[in-house]
Structure 1
Amino acid sequence: MLFRLSYLKQMLAALVLASGLCAPAQAEHIRLGADVWYPFNGEPDSPRPGYMIELASAVWKQAGHTVDYQVLPWERAIDEARAGSLDCIVGTTLDEAPDFLFPDQPLGMDESYIFVLKDNDWQYTGIGSLSEIRIGVVGGYSYDDGEFDEYVASQTGAPTVQVMKGNNALDQNLQKLLSRRIDALVESPMVMHARLQQLSPRPEVRVAGRIGSVTPLYIACSPSNPMAATYVRQLNDGIVRMRMSGELANLLDLYNLRDWQMSQPLFSE
């Protein structure tokens, strides 16, 4: 009997140790930041805060973490994450934060369009044609076109390029376009379409050209955070899992979107 009791105690101790080794990592409070860029990320308190926010929240909740998403100007979001005040930024490209940690799997695809008022017959035919207009851009954005980004940098402060900063830079650029203080603005077609759908009456704008190419979008985590590699690994594995289970398709349906891996145009003009 003593032998059996001793053996049971040893087995119990081994089970306790094993359960400890298999326990999930310590729960973390992950702080996300970005400017409003719906449908990728929207208002934090909205029932639909953006599909990237809902995707990340679902993945990290399963890993035992909680998510705090806040809206702030894009350049400030990058700076605060780099300094460690935020853990990750939402809706970034590799060029915008090359020192950050990225998952292997993108969380979307996007491209940059030039929009003008419908009664404006100007058409983008290359960098040279930009000298004919005043164009609005967002501070800190990379438009995945080295020549265009160089033009923006060289003209910043001049009337030809007007850089808007703030939590809702698109709305401010759109207002300037409607009041004819600028002639064109550069924006994601999906973001622009979603915003126009929310306005009444709907502004009459048209596409006057495209810049760069289709670009992957990510949630990227701060290089100063020791948990960053864990976060991006969990995010990467979670996207794969949600795609296989159908959860990703169901989530995108809520935003009238389809999986970016499917071969289709991102946007129909």
Structure 2
Amino acid sequence: MYGTIAALFSILILCSLMSFSAMAQSTLVVVSDQWMPYYGENGTRDEGYAVDVLRAIFEPKGWTVEYKELPWQRALDDMRNGHADITISKSKEETPDFIFSTQTLGKNAMCFYTNRPDWKFTGPDSLDTVKTGLVQGYGYRDWFLEKVRRKPHLFYSLHGNDAFPRLVSMLKEDRIQALPGNQAVVDYYIQTNQLLDQVFFAGCVDDPEQLYFAISPANPLRSKLLVTAIDKGLATMRVSGQLNYLLIKYNLKHWVPVKADSPSAPNHTQ
């Protein structure tokens, strides 16, 4: 009996190793809308922090990393039907059916920006005095989505791969007066497009979420192997300093130092 159990266990281990070996020449499909500094323009030097991390982890193992820019809702659909492997989770609540890495990629602080220097976000009620833009399909906080549902006349939504830049243009034209977004993403866009004198920081929600790599649930065995590779790869990159280099490249901050003998300690960027 013991010999049979041991043999079955050995077979399972061998199958897992064979599966990972067979995947070693596979293509990893990464999808997202443009969300710099995490996801940028495909094929450029600045494809984004998340894409650079995945290339650093998987390409030395023989994988081909294929990054596709898609509207966010289309990206989620492709993840669910198995046409894509990985994206960044902008909210775990948005995609509870996905499989997540255990290592974080940063904080998803929901902050508000405005074209009116005197307007500040002080809570949900402060949105009653402005018209607010949003991207269809994004995982906003429940209270925010409830407010959109109850007072739709105060909100303007767009969809598509260029929804966020279009909303910023509407903000500049005063067609909307407030726009929520990830602080690192909006700050990067404002600085890159020299909008510091036109788009102003107005405050953040007090409960920032963590960002993770989200893996397609369509193939559980493949996804489990991907999670293992990502978590080990991130731990190695942290200890080697490679991940810190990418943070500096994309102006992401702050990095909590990790001791060389503790590669599995959690990391936090914001």
Superposed CA offset, 1:135-178 (max 9, x none): 011112223x33223223444xx331112211122201101111
- Please give the secondary structure, in 1, of the residue aligned with 2:207: strand
Structure 1 residue 163 and structure 2 residue 161: aligned?
no
- Please give the secondary structure, in 2, of the residue aligned with 1:213: coil
Query: How many residue pairs were aligned?
Result: 243
Q: Is the 8 A contact 2:97 2:217 kept in 1?
A: yes
Give the Å deviation of 1:234.
0.5
> What pairs with 1:1-269 in structure 2 (closer than 5 Å)?
25-26=21-22, 27-119=25-117, 121-143=118-140, 145-155=141-151, 158-200=152-194, 202-226=196-220, 227-261=222-256, 266=270
The structure with the largest alpha-carbon Rg is 1
| Runs of 4+ that moved beyond 3 A | 21-24, 200-203, 258-266
Unaligned runs of 5+ in 1: 1-17
Give the Å deviation of 1:265.
9.0
Give the alignment's TM-score, normalised by structure 2: 0.82
Change (3 A) 1:97 1:24: closer
The whole-number CA distance in structure 1 between the counterparts of 2:269 and 2:104 is: 17
Superposed CA offset, 1:61-110 (max 9, x none): 23331110111111110011101111122353211211101011012222
Residue identity over aligned pairs, in percent, reads: 32
The whole-number CA distance in structure 1 between the counterparts of 2:193 and 2:110 is: 21
- Please give the secondary structure, in 2, of the residue aligned with 1:108: strand
Give the Å deviation of 1:225.
2.2
Change (3 A) 1:244 1:207: same
